Amino acid sequence: MAENIYEKYGNKIIDGKRIAAEYRAEIATEVAAMERKPSLAVIIVGEDPASQVYVRNKERGCAEVGMTSLLYRLPTETTEEELLRLIEHLNADSDVDGILVQLPLPSVRDGGSGIDEGAVIAAVSPEKDVDAFRAENVGHIMLGDAQLLPCTPAGVMVLLERSGVEIEGKRCLVIGRSNIVGKPMAMLLLHKSGTITVAHSRSRDLPALCREADIVVAAVGRAKLITGDMIKPGAVVIDVGMNRDENGKLCGDVDFDSVAPVASKITPVPGGVGPMTISMLLRNTLTAARLRGKK
């Protein structure tokens, strides 16, 4: 991606960094007015470098909006029983509002003890599940009455809303069907009355599906998969992907240089969806604190 994209593409760019900062400032104002501050517990198992960065950013985000964060660093070889015991303890701690276990957990190959992620997700009490990963919370996303929102898809919705993108009646293509991004993304767009297609690794003719879409949300994990010739002129393109290109540089699923001239709006990577995800985690922690009676 060129260095001067903000100069070159001006108001086409959905500036996630700026919108996320505004959003966090609004949360900070709400938190400042509370007598008891929301509190987020973050558990990290092992030494995965990307996870270390994410956890540090979550701690920073909490500090920025005036929330308390509690960080639990556990060694790589931590057993499922030990992790579940800590989660139980945090479930019972009345001051803790949100519990987040940083995924992925270390694999056996990396020296981990083979902890079952499903068991860990299910152990967090539903009202403290600030990632909205538990089946109950996923059900609420489906029903459209979720209090705790899926962070990345909800962040995309804020970006669309604050950029004045209309969803009602639009053809929306979500590329990717994961439980944390693709599926809940499709649901949130559906609740706003978009006409939704979900593409995935077995879909046929992805370029044709793309060319029909007014809004494309790419959440695949393949560097520069979506190119300008696949995009309908004037479409809005949201890039959730976080990949490394051939030079080891961070890039999305969208080939920015060829798509930006065709799209009407586009999120860059970095500086697009990523910054919103943490902001939505903070929003969920504030919501959880309020639902648990903190004022």
**Which listed residue (28, 74, 206, 262) binds ligand NAD by CB under 6 A?**
206
CB-based contact 156:20 (threshold 8 Å): no
Active-site residue, 257 included: no
> In this structure, what token pair is assigned to residue 5?
């994209």
Active-site residue, 147 included: no
Spatial separation of the C-alpha atoms in residues 207 and 230, rounded to whole Å? 5
If the CB atoms of residues 98 and 268 are measured against ligand NAD, the closer one turns out to be 268
**Residue 178 binding ligand NAD, by CB under 6 A:** yes
Total of chain residues touching ligand NAD, rule CB under 6 A: 24
Active-site residue, 95 included: no
**Residue 270 binding ligand NAD, by CB under 6 A:** no
- The span of 83-91, 110-118, 177-185, 254-262 binding ligand NAD (CB under 6 A) equals 177-185
Q: Name the E strands within the chain.
A: 39-45, 68-74, 98-101, 171-175, 195-199, 215-218, 236-239, 243-244, 250-251, 265-266
Catalytic residue among 15, 48, 129, 131: 131
If the CB atoms of residues 38 and 182 are measured against ligand NAD, the closer one turns out to be 182
**Which listed residue (203, 227, 258, 264) binds ligand NAD by CB under 6 A?**
203
Contacts (Cβ under 8 Å, ≥6 apart) of 177: 183, 198, 200
CA 222: distance to chain centroid?
Answer: 17
Please say whether the dihedral angle defined by the alpha carbons of residues 250, 253, 259 and 263, taken in this order, is positive or negative.
Answer: negative
Place of tokens 């999120």: 267
**Which listed residue (42, 160, 186, 199) binds ligand NAD by CB under 6 A?**
199
User: Which single residue brings its beta carbon nearest to ligand NAD?
Assistant: 178
Active site residues: 58, 102, 131
> Residue numbers of the site for ligand NAD (CB under 6 A)?
152, 175-178, 180-182, 199-201, 203, 206, 219-222, 240-243, 273-274, 277
